Amino acid sequence: MNSNKFFSFSRFYLLLRNDILLNRQKYLLTIAGAFIFGFVFLYMQMPKVERLDNQIPAFNGSRYVSVFALFLIGLGWFIATSFSELGDKVKTSNYLLMPASTFEKFLSQFVIRVVIGTSLLLVIFWADAHLARTVALSQIEGPNHEPASANVSKYIAEFHYSMFLVKHTNNNEPTYWRLAEGMALISFIFSIGMYLFSKKLFHKKNGFGKSRIISIVIIFSILFLMPDSNWFSEFNSFISNNIERQLQNGYTNIDIWRFSIAYFAPLFLIPFGYFKLKEKQL
């Protein structure tokens, strides 16, 4: 056994192995469930009849994005099962007594739920999108049940992740996300993920109610922080008329403020979660 009290690769490997051995059935079912759900949902959304008057592609990036959003909710649920042992006194005791450092325990959950979970989500969605498109295209036919035209392969856009670089606004005119904006969105999604990841560590008493309240606050914060959101239109128009100033880089001072919150939120959530685990008591 390595004497390093903070991190040892051998201990970390054993901890990951332990988690996978104990939960392998649950993980396999989750992967299979996500794959089947993704395929069925995408396939059902894809057109089965070629309508030549429709714009091509009829099933474009924005349609993929809406299904991907459901996948992200599923990932959020999976991440929220982190530290599941801490919901029960007996399991908490077993978990805290496992011979590994707090950092190794925290990191192992992060690697399995966030890193591997997100990677698998991306792979599964990619595979689902391609499989659903292949199956849908093989079955597609004309409006009067005639064979589809030779151009049918363009009818459902081929999925690739660079589609997500295009921002779909209310006026349906595709524009590319600006770098800081896109990074802020990713950072926000990461913040939500980090909150879900460590929520079992934050709330010992009345955890259910507290996590619901904080979830609502986070959702409203996101809506508020989204520049194109109509949810806080009056407030946003007050801001834009009175406080907002255009900067030279194309952003406004409010954008910078919003991005700063988005970037820094995970920096607080991660260490806070770690120290909550370190000080966890029965």
Q: Could you list the residues that contact another protein (CB under 8 A)?
A: 1, 3, 5, 8, 11, 14-15, 17-18, 21-23, 88, 90-91, 93-94, 96-102, 104, 278-279, 281-282
CB of 18 or CB of 249, closer to another protein: 18
What does the alpha-carbon distance between residue 80 and residue 78 come to, in Å, rounded to a whole number? 5
CB of 85 or CB of 244, closer to another protein: 85
DSSP for 192-227, written as a single string: HHHHHHHHHHH-SSSHHHHHHHHHHHHHHHHHHH-T
What does the alpha-carbon distance between residue 46 and residue 59 come to, in Å, rounded to a whole number? 6
Provide, rounded to whole angstroms, the least separation between the CB of residue 82 and another protein.
Answer: 16
CB of 59 or CB of 78, closer to another protein: 78
Provide, rounded to whole angstroms, the least separation between the CB of residue 210 and another protein.
Answer: 21
Q: CA 218 → CA 46, 212, 264, distances in Å?
A: 32, 10, 14
Provide, rounded to whole angstroms, the least separation between the CB of residue 267 and another protein.
Answer: 25
CB of 169 or CB of 281, closer to another protein: 281
CB of 93 or CB of 139, closer to another protein: 93
**Residue 71 in contact with residue 120, Cβ under 8 Å?**
no
Q: What's the one-letter identity of residue 259?
A: F
Provide, rounded to whole angstroms, the least separation between the CB of residue 78 and another protein.
Answer: 18
What does the alpha-carbon distance between residue 159 and residue 162 come to, in Å, rounded to a whole number? 9
Q: Around 127, how many Cα atoms within 13 Å sit in the side-chain half-sphere?
A: 12
